[in-house]
Structure 1
Amino acid sequence: MNTESISNFKETPARDWSEESEKILQMRISELGLKLEGTRLEKLVDQLYRELDSAGIVLRPRVYLSDEWGCPEGIPVISIPFYLADEELSILEDEFLEGIEGKSAEEILMYLRHEAGHAFNYAYRLHDTSEWREIFGPYSRPYKEDFKPNPFSRSFVRHIPGWYAQKHPDEDFAETFAVWLSPGGNWEELYKGWECYEKLLYVDRTVKKLGRTGPIVSGEEYDLSGEQLHYSLAEYNKLFLPPRVDIPSYFDGDLKTIFKSSVPEEVESGWKPAHEFLMEFRRRLVDNIRYWTGLQEAVVRSLLLHLIDHSRELKLWVNTDEIEDTLIKVTAYATTLCMNRLYKGDFIVK
Structure 2
Amino acid sequence: MAKGSEVSAKSMTTSTVAPDWSNYTDEEILKFRFKDLKLSIAGTEVEERVKQLYAEMEAKGLSFRPQIFLGDEWFSPEGMNAISIPFYLAHSRLKSLEKNLMLDVEGGNAEWFMRLLRHEAGHCFDHCYRFSKRKKWHQVFGSPNEEYQPDTYRPQPYSKSYVKHLDNWYAQAHPDEDFAETFAVWLDPNRDWKKEYGRWPVALGKLEYMQSLAQESVKLKDHSEKGRLPSSVKNLTTTLDKYYQKRRREQADEYPDFYDSDLRKIFNGDESLSKREFSAGRFMNRNRKAIVTSVAWATSERKFTIDKLVRRLVERCTQLELRLGKSETQTTMEVASFLTGLVMNYLFTGKFKRKV
The TM-score by the shorter chain falls in which range?
0.7 to 0.9
Q: Which amino acid aligns with 2:86?
A: P
Matched, 1:162 2:162: no
SS of corresponding position for 2:22: helix
1:202 to 192, 196, 209: 209
Q: List aligned pairs for 1:1-350, cutoff 5 A.
A: 5-9=20-24, 20-145=25-150, 146-194=152-200, 195-210=202-217, 212-213=218-219, 215-217=221-223, 221-224=226-229, 227=232, 228-241=235-248, 242-243=251-252, 246=255, 248=257, 251-252=259-260, 254-255=262-263, 257-258=265-266, 261=269, 273-290=283-300, 298-307=304-313, 316=324, 319=327, 322=329, 328-342=333-347, 346-348=351-353
**How many angstroms apart in 2 are the aligned matches of 1:327 and 1:215?**
58
Separation of aligned partners in 2, 1:196 and 1:104: 28
Structure 2: unaligned runs, 5 residues or longer:
2-16, 275-281
Structure 1: distance between partners of 2:20 and 2:230? 20
Q: Assess, with a 3 A threshold, how the Cα gap between structure 1 residues 226 and 239 changes in structure 2: closer, same or farther.
A: closer
- Aligned partners of 2:191, 2:61: CA distance in 1, in Å? 17
Alpha-carbon shift at residue 304 of structure 1 (Å): 3.6
Instruction: Give the unaligned 5+ runs of structure 1.
Output: 10-19, 266-271
Paired positions, count: 325
The two structures have a TM-score, normalised by structure 1, of: 0.81
From the superposition, tell whether residues 315 and 182 of structure 1 become closer, same or farther in structure 2 (CA, over 3 Å): farther
Counterpart contact for 1:5–1:33, Cα < 8 Å: no
Shift of 1:180: 1.2
- 1:144-168 Cα offsets, whole Å, 9 max, x none, are 1322222222211111112211121
What is the percent sequence identity of the aligned residues? 34
| 1:301-321 per-position Cα deviation (integer Å, ceiling 9, x unaligned) | 43244446666885658746x
Q: Measured at CA, do residues 149 and 344 of structure 1 come closer, stay the same or move farther in structure 2, by a change above 3 Å? A: closer
Task: Give the 3-state SS of the residue equivalent to 1:63 in structure 2.
Answer: strand
Structure 1 stretch displaced more, 221-230 or 175-184: 221-230
Change (3 A) 1:287 1:302: farther
RMSD of the TM alignment (CA)?
A: 3.2
**What is the match of residue 13 of structure 1?**
none
Distance in structure 1 (CA, Å) of the matches to 2:38 and 2:324: 46
